[in-house]
Structure formats: structure tokens, C-alpha cells
Amino acid sequence: MDNQTMLDPGLRKALEGLKKHQGQKESAAVAAEMLKGKILAPAVWDKAPAPDGHGQLVFPPDTNISLMVMERQDKKNFFPFFTSKETLEKWSPKAQCLVLTFDQFMPFLKMAGGEVDGVILDPEDLDITLDTSFLQQLEKIRLRGLSANRIVKGDKVTVKDPGEEGKYLGNVLAKTAESMPEVRSIVLKERLMPDNSQHWFIIVDADSEDPVLFSKLSAEGSRLAGGRDMEFMFGSTELGKKIMHDSMPVYTREKA
């Protein structure tokens, strides 16, 4: 499919990857693209939009807008979303639609309550469903902030293996590292803080110890950090070496 005709090539590519292999890495890629991308949502409304002073079409405040719903053979209902006009027209050539971000379509899902079970993406070919609980978890991550910190010498560091929530973050870090040839491996841990809170603790083993690496990893990982601080340490430090020796990395650079 020609990327020029697509609303969100990044999301489409991630969905195609998930279609080929339904693994954690592929699911994390879709989650990341859903949070930052846009979709086409077939909808109906009772008042026509009109151009505002900036040439944008705007609905009157009292417009009633409803997203269209698909019922599957198992009787579950989903909002059908599309990554391009082409995939939308395969489903319904005459459907009118809205261009929505994640933050814009989530209120529709909330208002639907238990009557809608999630969303289905490009149903005419990829036919990938994301259930409501998955999207609600993404929304929690979206609404939380990020603070990237470094360990200060003398700090007490108690770490443990990451729980279920860490799987998505680990996969995003691994995907990001694939485009960073200087990174040899990454270990992800949870750091237990004195106030009983938990931070993400990320050890990076790299050819060159440039703090910019931390910035790149935190920029991509922020979407799935779950509101926790992200603390970074290079693998060359004494503590970094010890933790990496005793841990399974979330990313290891392939040998040339």
C-alpha cells in the first residue's frame, strides 16, 4: 500500500507486524503508535460542520456525534477504525468519518460503557482487535508523566525484576535500541525507593557512554513508563556490571 495515501503509515506498519507475529514486541509497537497516531473513525452526526476563522471545519457545540459499531460473529461489538482512506473505502465507500487521536476517541469508548468491547483496526484486511481493557491501560500510561533521573553516588539501590507492566516498556526499549548501533545490551529493573514507590532502573551497556543515549531511550520509553521515574546507569559502573551479570537483558545487539 502506498504510504502517500495513508493517514498513519507508522500505525499501519506496526499492525502489519502484529498480524505476522503476535508477540510482546509487536504489541508494544502497536501500543506506542496508537498513543501518538491518528485513525479514521466512521461516524454519523446530526449537524453539519462549518469552517471557522482558520479554515478548519468545526461542529456546532450541540452536535450529536456517534461512532459506527461493528458486531462480530461472536456477538461482540467494536468501533471500526482505519489507517487510510483506502482501507476505509474497502469497508464502506460512502462512509463519512472523523480523524481522531487516541485522546479523542477514548471518550467515545467510555460513553459506550459495556456495550462496546474495543476497537477493530482495518477490518477488511488486517482485522486486528484491541479490547477495552488494553486501551484503558494505555490511557493510564498516557495520563501519567515521566521524569528521567540518574543514580547519584551513595544512593541505596534495591532492585527487582520488572512485573507484567514492564514487558511493554522493555519491548519499546529493545525496539529503540535496534536503531542505536552503539548500544550492546539493556537490562530493565524496578528500583524500590525508601518511600515504597518504584522507579524504572535501566542499565545500558554501550560502546560509547554518551548521555544522549539515555535521552533517546527515555523519549521513546516515556509513553509506556506508567508514570514512574526512569533512572539510567551505564553498564561499565561497578553496580551496573553486577546487575547485568545477574540479569536477563531485554535487548542484546546482534553479532555482525
Confidence of residue 252 (pLDDT cuts 50, 70, 90): very high
Report the distance separating Cα 207 and Cα 196, nearest Å.
34
Mean pLDDT of the region 200-227 = 82
Confidence of residue 225 (pLDDT cuts 50, 70, 90): confident
* Per-domain boundaries in the chain: 3-143, 148-252
Report the distance separating Cα 247 and Cα 244, nearest Å.
5
Pairwise pLDDT comparison (151 vs 255), residue with the higher score = 255
Give me the pLDDT at residue 5, please. 54
Q: Which of 69-83, 101-115, 153-167, 183-197 has the lowest mean pLDDT?
A: 153-167
Q: How many CA atoms within 13 Å lie on the side-chain side of 111? A: 10
Read off the pLDDT of residues 67-79 as tens digits, 9 standing for 90 and up: 999 998 889 999 9
Give me the pLDDT at residue 2, please. 44
- 72 phi, psi to nearest 5 deg: -85, 175
Report the distance separating Cα 169 and Cα 152, nearest Å.
23
Report the distance separating Cα 108 and Cα 82, nearest Å.
16
Most confident of the following: 14-18, 77-81, 191-195: 77-81
Mean pLDDT of the region 18-34 = 83
Give me the pLDDT at residue 1, please. 45
Give me the pLDDT at residue 3, please. 47
Domain 148-252, CATH class in plain words:
alpha beta
Mean pLDDT of the region 39-68 = 83
Give me the pLDDT at residue 148, please. 43
Please give the biggest Cα pair distance in the chain: 65
Confidence of residue 230 (pLDDT cuts 50, 70, 90): confident
pLDDT of 7 higher than 50: yes
pLDDT of 147 higher than 90: no
pLDDT of 146 higher than 60: no
Q: Which of 32-36, 96-100, 159-163, 225-229 has the lowest mean pLDDT?
A: 225-229
Most confident of the following: 4-8, 34-38, 126-130: 126-130
pLDDT of 178 higher than 70: yes
pLDDT of 250 higher than 60: yes
Query: Residue 234: how many CB atoms within 10 A of its CB?
Result: 17
